[in-house]
Amino acid sequence: MNRILITGGAGFLGSHLCERLLNEGNEVICMDNYFTGFKKNVAHLLDNPNFELIRHDVIEPFKIEADQIYNLACPASPSHYQYNAIKTMKTSVMGAINCLGGAKRTKARVFQASTSEVYGDPNVHPQTESYWGNVNPIGIRSCYDEGKRAAETLFMDYHRQNGVDIRIARIFNTYGPRMNPEDGRVVSNFICQALRGENITIYGDGTQTRSFCYVDDLIEGFIRLMNQNEVTGPVNLGNAHEFTMLELAQKVQEKIGGSSEIIFKPLPSDDPKQRQPDITLAKKHLDWQPTINLDEGLDRTIAYFQSPI
Ligand code: NAD
Ligand code: UDP
């Protein structure tokens, strides 16, 4: 049994990770400030004696003894990370420093939830880990993109300088039950709009692409990356099947039916035109690849939003 700290554990991905690690017999400490996460996401775990929930902001120092730390604390949707851009940057940078300091002190292995956003609006397609990216340092997405890039830098420097045992995952768009329907991400937006009979809002002309990974596949990738000794990362984790936002909207429309029509709204600035992970490294070192295709994952996610648990 390991004692495992998960920052951002009451969020979408964090709550699935808490559940999975508890099911495997670990002790889990979930730390969250509830900025974008909810106690209700982990309410079903509260009776488990191996589960502990702490309200704490990751930018403030903390001392917790753990064997492993997963650092997920950070707002992840554009509307939420832009709400207080300075706080987003602080969360990435100070959160990384606090987790790395803790890992250095306790000799814990520490995992960083990085993102495909480190590639910005990529000129290399699909994106390999060796690509340095095309990121605007002064735009409205920069607080998130540059914050996550700075966090990767800190992880690598603590590793090189202090021998801290790190793992870095570059996560591509992930969806599934417990996405926050208010956070504006495309899969939850389209599904909730269609379920409410509202029009489905495509930003821009809908030709931009994303590659969507179902949450259970991603969590499997997290665990495999954390518990192997071949690579520190960064390793891309995501589904390599790429779709345009128009294709996604049409799929959701067909699955849910109803009166919703597809409408077009202005594209936010710096919105990446294309995104697809090259997952060669994850296949090779983690023997990992997604198993749930978009149709199946959308069906499960629609079922959740029809009756959220
Ligand atoms: P989420 O918003 O549901 O979860 C983030 C959690 O972190 C929330 O519970 C929030 O309350 C908490 N949090 C935010 N700031 C905090 C702070 N200062 N102190 C403590 N807790 C704080 O988002 P998610 O999709 O679950 O994302 C989890 C992590 O994965 C994030 O770091 C995100 O950048 C990364 N990621 C997610 C995706 C994706 O598609 N879901 C893609 C790339 C990277
Ligand atoms: N998007 C959209 N309609 C929406 C929400 C998002 O067309 O209601 C687009 C958005 O402009 C982007 C893509 O969907 O091109 C993915 O957006 P999301 O915020 O989910 O993730 P990210 O842009 O961070 O990859």
For 72-124, what is each residue's pLDDT tens digit?
Answer: 999 999 999 999 999 999 999 999 999 999 999 999 999 999 999 999 999 99
Q: Is the CB of 236 under 6 A from ligand 1?
A: no
> 164 CA distance to ligand 2 centroid (A)?
35
pLDDT of residue 258: 85
Q: Is the CB of 45 under 6 A from ligand 1?
A: no
pLDDT of residue 302: 97
Which residues participate in catalysis according to the annotation?
144
Q: Is the CB of 59 under 6 A from ligand 1?
A: yes
| Band of residue 253 on the pLDDT scale cut at 50, 70, 90 | very high
Structural domains of the chain, ranges and CATH numbers in brackets: 3-175+213-239+277-290 (3.40.50.720)
Q: Is the CB of 193 under 6 A from ligand 1?
A: no
| Band of residue 186 on the pLDDT scale cut at 50, 70, 90 | very high
The model carries a pTM of 0.97
> 185 CA distance to ligand 2 centroid (A)?
6
pLDDT of residue 1: 85
Percentage with pLDDT > 70 across the chain? 99
Neighbours of 143 (CB within 10 A): 21
Task: Pick the atom of ligand 2 nearest to 76's CA.
Answer: 24
Residue 265, pLDDT > 80, answer yes
pLDDT of residue 307: 84
Residue from 6, 7, 12 whose mutation best tests the ligand 1 pocket (most atoms within 8 A of CB): 12
Residue 309, pLDDT > 60, answer no
Task: Pick the atom of ligand 1 nearest to 95's CA.
Answer: 18
Averaged pLDDT for residues 297-307: 95
Measured from the alpha carbon of residue 175, the closest ligand is 1
Q: Is the CB of 203 under 6 A from ligand 2?
A: yes
